[in-house]
Each structure stands twice: as C-alpha cells, then as structure tokens.
C-alpha cells in the first residue's frame, strides 16, 4: 500500500471516530478527530507529490499554496482547515470552554466534505 493510500485510510478512520464521538456528545473530541481526518487527507495529497512536512502550519500553508491558490480546491477549504485547526486546539486544550453542538456538527460535516473533495 502506498503512503498516500495509508494516509487516506487514516483519514477515513479519524472521520468515523469524529462521527461516533459527536453522536456521544463528546464535541471537543469530535472536533479534534475531524481536524485529524482532514490533516491525514491533506497529507495524502502532499505525499502523492513527494512532499512531507514537519509541522501542521507547514502542511496547511502548502495546501493553500499548492492546491487552493492553483485552483484545484475552492478557497473555502482554506478557511475550513484553519477553523478545524483552531477548534481542535479548543477541543484538546481548553478544559473550561465547552464546544457547542452546532460547532462540532459543522466541523464533522466540513471534514467529510473536504475529504470527499480530496478523494474525487
């Protein structure tokens, strides 16, 4: 199996986990898994081009440069990835602020939409 195929499988597993966590009311954890689903899917795109990155910021920045600015993906996907990254930090590190249901639901849905676009 190729590294990009493995990354897409990881994306699918993380997305499934996000959906299950959301159904259980674990919104912060669902948002975190939604972000990591997208992280692995974007990693698959980069791996297909022979690129790897050592930080989340590099991965997201190059996604924007190589895939959004070139017109392969709509600009809204940059905003989605950025929001998912921010929500992941909220879900993982902010023990005080609870994530709202609608916010987690949007994160999971947007992760699915972006992953579907990458697979297409």
pLDDT tens across 59-104, in order?
999 999 999 999 999 999 999 999 999 999 887 777 667 788 999 9
Contact 35, 108 (CB under 8 A): no
| 2 contact partners, CB below 8 Å, separation of at least 6 | 47
Confidence at residue 47, expressed as pLDDT on a 0 to 100 scale = 94
What count of other Cβ atoms lies within 10 Å of the Cβ of residue 61? 13
What pLDDT sits at residue 90?
Answer: 83
**pLDDT at site 79:** 94
What is residue 89's predicted lDDT score, i.e. its pLDDT? 86
Supply the range of the domain harboring residue 34: 3-119
What is the pLDDT at residue 96? 61
Q: pLDDT confidence of 120, banded at 50, 70, 90?
A: confident
d(CA 29, CA 32): 5
CATH number, position 70: 1.20.120.330
Spatial contact of 38 and 115, defined as CB atoms under 8 Å apart: yes
pTM of the model as a whole: 0.92
Residue range 98-113: average pLDDT?
Answer: 93
Domain total for the chain?
A: 1
Q: Supply 98's token pair.
A: 């609870």
């Amino acid at each position: 199996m190729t590294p990009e195929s493995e990354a897409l499988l990881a994306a699918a597993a993380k997305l499934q986990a996000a959906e299950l966590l959301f159904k259980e009311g674990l919104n912060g954890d669902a948002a975190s898994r939604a972000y990591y689903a997208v992280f692995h899917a974007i990693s698959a795109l980069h791996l297909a081009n022979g690129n790897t990155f050592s930080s989340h910021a590099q991965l997201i920045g190059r996604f924007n440069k190589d895939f959004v600015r070139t017109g392969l993906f709509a600009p809204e996907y940059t905003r989605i990835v950025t929001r998912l990254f921010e929500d992941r930090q909220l879900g993982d590190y902010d023990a005080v602020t609870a994530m709202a249901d609608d916010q987690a639901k949007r994160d999971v849905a947007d992760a699915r939409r972006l992953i579907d676009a990458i697979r297409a």
